[in-house]
Amino acid sequence: MADFSTNYMGLDLSNPIVVGSSDLTMSVDGLRACEEAGAGAVVLKSLFEEQIEDDVQRARDEITFPDDHSEADGYIRNTALNLSEDRYLSLIRGAKRTISIPVIASLNCIRPDWWTSYAARLAEAGADGIELNIAIMPTFLLQTSAEIEDTYVRIVRSVRGKVSLPLAVKIGPYFTSLPHTARALGNAGADALVLFNRFTRFDIDIEKMSMIHRYNYSAPEDIHLSLRWIAVLAGQSGCQMASATGVHDGEGVIKQLLAGARAVQVCSVLLQKGLGVLSGMLDSLENWMGRRGFESIDEFRGRMSLELGGKPDFYQRQQYIKVLSGIDV
Ligand SMILES: Cc1cc2nc3c(=O)[nH]c(=O)nc-3n(C[C@H](O)[C@H](O)[C@H](O)COP(=O)(O)O)c2cc1C
């Protein structure tokens, strides 16, 4: 039996396949099913900042105070904290009582605000690690890229100041210099980066003339964006890498490990085809390692990364140089 063990964010995983934050990981029963199907770890469904804000608003609507003063606001915020917290913390406690693979809590955040105190409570409830899902969509003319990147860094620094738990940051691909941002997030205290978040799709219903937000599952061809960036960043960002998006089979898992991933998150394919896909992925990995003569993942991880792959040009070319000019790169 090959050695699939990997260390991700400082956590020891029996294998690198992690069930990503999704509806599969929002109940204790779902988490148990993930463990039984062979997952190396699970990331819980995210607690969204807006959910907390909703609770604050509900509490504000329900409780009337004679004056609008800050103590009342503090009370409302604390009430809301307890409301949301109870639900999420009981999921963590239930998970820790039921399964033995690492349980990574997930916070979806857009501001470095008071709510980061949640992070400390997640730790108290027993979470083995935290994944911050940071998604800031630039929509204002005066907001610079440097300001937005600084917000990412301040969120990470703020959470790191509250907890010593392993910390991963899940981001989208829209950065001008991802290596620079990755390094800044590592310096702010991130142990790992998860590449990439998959955003809901913006769409327009032309009959109703209304906007639609759709979530669509990934397809196997969606692997290439994260594969490229894992290969570029592994070994040079100061963070460990986990891939997310487009891994649908064992081949995808192997590619991401060769690119340098410490963990490979999967989600869409499990929702579409069931958790049985996990054992198929592990079988393919074992088969491939056997054929190539590898006994452990450490023997081949990152062999195709920019750091170890030996062909820097290959990672820089984005266009059709070979096709258009005949120059082979
Ligand atoms: C139904 C569904 C719910 C999701 N919910 C979350 C979430 O709460 N937090 C999060 O960070 N990602 C969430 N995701 C994104 C996944 O964790 C994952 O990053 C994304 O689907 C890409 O991986 P995949 O190609 O294997 O699906 C969700 C995805 C799906 C399909």
Using the atom order of ligand 1, give the atom closest to the CA of residue 196: 19
Task: Specify the pTM.
Answer: 0.88
Cite the DSSP H helix spans in the chain.
Answer: 28-37, 49-62, 70-98, 117-125, 145-162, 178-187, 223-233, 250-259, 268-273, 277-292, 306-309, 312-316, 321-325
Tell the residue nearest (CA) to atom 14 of ligand 1: 22
pLDDT at 298 over 90: yes
Confidence band, pLDDT 50/70/90 cuts, at residue 268: very high
Q: Does any ligand 1 atom lie closer than 6 A to the CB of residue 132? A: no
Q: Does the C-beta of 21 come closer than 6 Å to ligand 1?
A: yes
Q: What is the DSSP letter of 235?
A: T
Mean pLDDT, the chain, rounded, equals 87
pLDDT for 140 equals: 87
Predicted local distance difference test score (pLDDT) of residue 81: 47
Q: How far is the CA of 276 from the centre of ligand 1 (A)?
A: 18
109 lines ligand 1 (CB under 6 A): no
CA distance 134 to 71: 30
24 C-beta closer than 6 A to ligand 1: no
- Low-confidence winner among 106-115, 245-254, 318-327 (lowest mean pLDDT): 318-327
- Rounded distance from Cα 226 to ligand 1 centre (Å): 14
In tens, the pLDDT along 127-138 reads 999 999 998 888
Q: Would the CB of 271 count as within 6 Å of ligand 1? A: yes
For atom 6 of ligand 1, which residue has the closest CA? 22
Confirm or reject: Cβ of 253 under 6 Å from ligand 1. Answer: no
pLDDT tens readout for residues 62-79: 544 444 444 444 444 444
**CA 27 to mean position of chain CA atoms:** 18
Output the pLDDT for position 137. 86
Query: What is the pLDDT, as a whole number, of residue 181?
Result: 96
Q: Is 20 in the pocket of ligand 1 (CB under 6 A)?
A: yes
Residue with the bigger pLDDT between 67 and 169: it is: 169
- 267: CA distance to ligand 1 center in Å? 6
* pLDDT, mean of residues 73-89: 58
Distance 38 CA to ligand 1 centre (A): 19
pLDDT for the residue 317:
66
Q: Does 226 sit in the ligand 1 pocket, CB within 6 Å?
A: no
pLDDT band at 321 (very low <50, low <70, confident <90, very high): low
Q: Please give the pLDDT value at position 229.
A: 96
> Which residue of 18, 19, 22 sits with most ligand 1 atoms within 8 Å of its CB, as the best mutation to test the pocket?
22
254-257: long-range contacts at Cβ-Cβ below 8 A with a sequence spacing of 24 or more? 254/284, 254/285, 254/288, 255/223, 255/227, 255/304, 256/223, 256/226, 256/227, 256/230, 257/16, 257/297, 257/300, 257/301
Cβ(199) – ligand 1 distance below 6 Å: no
SS3 136: coil
Q: Is ligand 1 within 6 A of the CB of residue 46?
A: yes
Q: What is the pLDDT of residue 212?
A: 85
Q: Does residue 79 or residue 311 have the better pLDDT?
A: 311
Give the pLDDT of residue 235.
85
Question: What residues contact 153, with CB distance under 8 A and at least 6 apart?
Answer: 184, 185, 187, 188
Q: Residue 109's pLDDT is what?
A: 79
- Answer whether 256 contacts ligand 1 (Cβ < 6 A): no
pLDDT at 303 over 70: yes
Ligand 1, atom nearest to 269 Cα: 26
